[in-house]
């Protein structure tokens, strides 16, 4: 998952940092994402598998740092969300798609968040 995030961050396929943030969100907020397994580890395995819990927390700390760096690089005139906000949005959207069993809302909300819908 880290490699995929870094590939997005350092890719020239995305025109702006906002496009990179959106792609990172799409990567994480998915029924088959590895991030789902990390969330599951955080909520279900803390007591039974403390090492898995620590790995999940380390990933979240790393992702938060990468999001912060990417947010910091956003153009001056663009919306600059807080890195914590982006991470919390990823978590919230993950729970939303799990409860609604649909990815349709994710893309609409991502576009609205960046004011393009």
Q: Where residue 13 falls among pLDDT bands split at 50, 70, 90? A: very high
Total number of domains constituting the chain: 1
Structure confidence by residue, pLDDT tens digits, 45-98: 777 888 888 888 899 889 988 888 887 776 655 555 677 778 887 888 787 777
Dist. CA 29–CA 44, nearest whole Å: 19
Domain that holds residue 60: 2-113
Tokens of 73: 């690089």
This prediction has a pTM of 0.65
Higher pLDDT, residue 24 or 53 = 24
CA 114 to chain centre: 15
Structure confidence by residue, pLDDT tens digits, 38-58: 777 777 777 788 888 888 889
Inform me whether the pLDDT recorded for 29 exceeds 60: yes
Buried b (16+ CB within 10 A) or exposed e, 42-71: beeeeeeeeebbeebeebbeebeebbeebb
């Amino acid at each position: 998952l880290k490699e995929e995030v870094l590939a997005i961050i350092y890719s020239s396929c995305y025109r702006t940092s906002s496009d990179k943030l959106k792609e990172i969100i799409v990567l994480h907020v998915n029924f088959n994402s590895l991030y789902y397994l990390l969330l599951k580890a955080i909520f279900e395995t803390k007591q039974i598998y403390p090492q898995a819990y620590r790995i999940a927390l380390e990933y979240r700390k790393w992702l938060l740092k990468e999001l912060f760096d990417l947010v910091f690089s956003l153009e001056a005139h663009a919306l600059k969300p807080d890195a914590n906000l982006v991470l919390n949005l990823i978590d919230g959207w993950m729970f939303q798609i799990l409860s609604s069993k649909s990815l349709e809302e994710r893309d609409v909300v991502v576009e609205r968040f960046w004011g393009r819908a």
